[in-house]
Amino acid sequence: MAKAADVIVIGAGHNGLVCASYLAKSGLDVLVVERSHRIGGACITEELVPGYQFSTFAYSAHGRAPRICRDLEIPPDAWLIEEADPRMFTPFPDGDHLFLWQDVNRTVTGLERLSQRDAQVYPDYLQYMDKAVQMTKDWYFEPPQNHQALYERYRGTEYVDVLEAMLTRSHWDVLGDFFESEKIKTVLARADDVGSPAAVGSFLAEAVEAANCASGVEGKSGLPRGGMGVITVALAEALVRWGGQIQTKTAVQKILLENGRAVGVQVDSGQVLRADLIVSNADPKRTFLTLLASEDVPGSFRRQVSNLKTRAGYMKYHAILSDFSRFSAMPSEHADDPRCAASVRIAPSLEYFESAWHDAQQGRPSKQPVMSLQLPTAYGSQECQLGKHIFGAWVRYGPARLKSGTWDHIRGKVMQNIVGQIEQYAPGFTDAIEWQRLYTVADVERETGITDASIRHVDMTLDQMLHRRPLPAWSAYKSPIASLWMCGSGPTLVDR
């Protein structure tokens, strides 16, 4: 049978489109096959309600986009980014609050309310973080190195102590070196794809996340005007300009091997598409446990893939509001400015964070979930009817497998709990809801194909990072199958 292309890329998510575009630019004949009727994977804009455009899953643009945009000659105006300011507002149950502003001095002024000492050392913490971020950026465009090689690389430099912290300590421990206030530490702490800010390796995960801070040619991070789908549309247009093709509504059922080498794919219509090279943008579990026959995957490797941690499952809640969320902890001078409620984090303590994680690991949705709340209409980045607001919540955590019942059975109860938790911080939120929808862990997996709704494809735990991502012998996009490579979030340090 004749070849369909030199290269077949499985999945038209943003990473797949970037990979395909580079291959097409190099002169290869590239075909991207996508099971959905749409391109974009989890990076899409949809009209879930007539007249309202939602970023259905991913909601904020960041990554290593400036270099990619230059390399692929993506026009500077392909997508326009609105940078949120404040970057984040965190309310506390006792009515207290903290802002993180784009202006460091303005943030410092806010921190002084809680601790003069902590406010003074905040710039020192930022300098420390800058070292971690700079190292991470240096690793992005090179094969991942093991810990020993990294220690050798930075020995005798100002970076070695920061590297040691990245590989041996938690983000919470590092924050404790600088700050005394529990509230300040909580606002700065992150561990979204690890589980707890107190987990060893969470500082490395935070450095990676902080380094993913640029989108578009201008290198801004924030809300793309028109929703996240404008990014994947621009990437698809770049691919076509370089001669690549995209075939939607074409679900790969099986990756085909001959003499141990990947030679093509069989799609849902039964058609066989052959190529010299197969590149999977699907996550490692879906690629090796679902798309490949069990007899085609070495048994030891299959067991390793099965044991990959994909525990950080997410949910996405959407609503149309008659008015923007008015938080009781919001200072009066900002109460009427929807931009101050456009990026909100609900995670008021380390105990809260760890309780949310513990619930999910016990097979139940978090009773008090960690939530990132968005109001993109505060910046006009997504379309809706005049006077209304689009609201979103990135909700964590949700278990891949429930201890009892099904997601369809408990969906209403889980959504009611999410709304109730927000109501505690923003009285009147419930009354402002005109429409709402919850994508459970099962929904996210069904819609995007991401196993267990673990958006990084595998959790960012220390044992699944750097040269061990996703597995020690198979990092840097490799697989044990000849001519089969990976290009998604699972095998790479950076989500493009």
Joined together, the tokens standing for residue 82 give 């609105």
Residue 303 shares a structural domain with residue 321? no
Statement to judge: residues 341 and 429 lie in one domain: yes
In a shared domain, residues 339 and 424: yes
- Shared domain for 371 and 387, answered yes or no, is yes
| Tens place of pLDDT per residue across the chain (496 aa) | 678 999 999 999 999 999 999 999 999 999 999 999 999 999 999 999 999 999 999 998 876 678 888 999 999 888 888 889 999 999 999 999 999 999 999 999 999 999 999 999 999 999 999 999 999 988 988 889 999 999 999 999 999 999 999 999 999 999 999 999 999 999 999 887 888 999 999 999 999 988 877 656 666 778 889 999 999 999 999 999 999 999 999 999 999 999 999 999 999 999 999 999 999 999 999 999 999 999 999 999 999 999 999 999 999 999 999 999 999 999 999 999 999 999 999 999 999 999 999 999 999 999 999 999 999 999 987 778 888 999 999 999 999 899 999 999 999 999 999 999 999 999 999 999 999 999 999 999 999 999 999 999 999 999 999 999 999 989 889 999 999 999 999 887 655 4
Is 356 in the same domain as 389? yes
Please give the backbone phi and psi of residue 191, each rounded to the nearest 5 degrees, phi first. -170, 40
Give the chain's domain count: 3
> Can you give the residue range of the structural domain that contains 131?
115-211
Which of 211, 242, 258 is the last residue before a domain boundary?
211
Residues 282 and 382 in one domain: no
Q: Which of 157, 192, 211 is the last residue of a domain?
A: 211
Query: Is residue 111 within 8 Å of 98, Cβ to Cβ?
Result: yes
Count the residues in the chain: 496
Indicate if 323 and 304 belong to the same structural domain.
no
Both 384 and 423 in one domain: the answer is: yes
Considering 211, 240, 255, which residue would you say is the last residue of a domain?
211
Structure tokens at 471: 């597995």
Kindly report the CATH number assigned to the domain that includes residue 227.
3.50.50.60
Task: Note whether residue 97 is domain-resident.
Answer: no
Is residue 105 assigned to a domain?
Answer: no
For residue 472, being part of any structural domain is answered with yes
Domain for residue 87, yes or no?
A: no
In this structure, are 289 and 386 located in the same domain? no
Chain Cα centroid distance, residue 362: 23
For residue 91, tell me if it sits in a domain. no
Which residues does 336 contact at the CB level (< 8 Å), separation at least 6? none
Is 85 a member of any domain? no
What pTM does this model have?
Answer: 0.95
Q: Are 325 and 422 in contact (CB under 8 A)?
A: yes
Q: Is residue 494 part of a domain?
A: no
Considering the domain architecture, whether residues 224 and 201 belong to the same structural domain is answered as no
Q: What are phi and psi of 389, to 5 degrees?
A: -135, 140
Residue 1 lies in a domain: no
- Give a three-class secondary structure readout of the chain: CCECCCEEEECCEHHHHHHHHHHHHCCCCEEEECCCCCCECCCCEEEEECCEEEECCCCCECCEHHHHHHHCCCCCCCCCEECCCCCEEEECCCCCEEEECCCHHHHHHHHCCCCHHHHHHHHHHHHHHHHHHHHHHHHCCCCCCCHHHHHHHHCCCCCHHHHHHHHHCCHHHHHHHHCCCHHHHHHHCCCCCCCCCCCCCHHHHHHHHHHCCEECCCCECEEECCCCHHHHHHHHHHHHHCCCEEECCCCEEEEEEECCEEEEEEECCCCEEECCEEEECCCHHHHHHHCCCHHHCCHHHHHHHHCCCCCCCEEEEEEEECCCCCCCCCCHHHCCCHHHHCEEEECCCHHHHHHHHHHHHCCCCCCCCEEEEECHHHHCCCCCCCCCEEEEEEEECCCCCCCCCCHHHHHHHHHHHHHHHHHHHCCCHHHHEEEEEEECHHHHHHHHCCHHHCCCCCCCCHHHCHHHCCCHHHCCCCCCCECEEECCCCCCCCCC
Whether 388 and 425 map to the same domain: the answer is yes
Task: Examine the domain organization and report whether 302 and 322 are in the same domain.
Answer: no
CB 81 within 8 A of CB 218: yes
